[in-house]
Amino acid sequence: MRKWFWYLLALLLAGLLAWGGYAVYAAYQGLKAKVAALEARVSAQEEAVKGLAERVGKLEEEVFKAPAPPLSLPEVPAGGGAPVWPYAVGVVAAALLLYLLLRLLRGYEAAKASAPTPNPEDLEASRMTEEGGPPPPSSR
């Protein structure tokens, strides 16, 4: 019985190897078909790109053959210009404000210079009367 067991085991192992080999071969054939399909797609896309490149080349030739004006700077449009009166009004208003400001400062300086300086004795007398003291003798 041992003799048959080893033969049966070898036969089973050979069957498994044959089945595994066939599975690998089928997978290889499937991959080979996929690669062929991809190669066909790439070649078709390559042909499409070549066709497009030819069309672009023809269009470039047509564009470069077409007459065109020489390259130069564009002409400046003759505009009427901006109105001047807002600037003139602004300058006059600024001059008037500056004049009034200087006149105000001059008047403040003149009023400050013409104001009498208080006498220290008068300040002391007024302070005394505010605090309730008798009026100074010179004012009676």
Q: How far is CA 63 from CA 49, 54, 67, 136, in A?
A: 21, 14, 9, 111
pLDDT digits (tens, 9 = 90+) for 67-122: 877 778 888 877 777 888 899 999 999 999 999 999 998 887 777 777 666 676 77
Q: CB within 8 A of 128, min separation 6: which ones?
A: 134, 136
What is the pTM for the complete model shown? 0.38
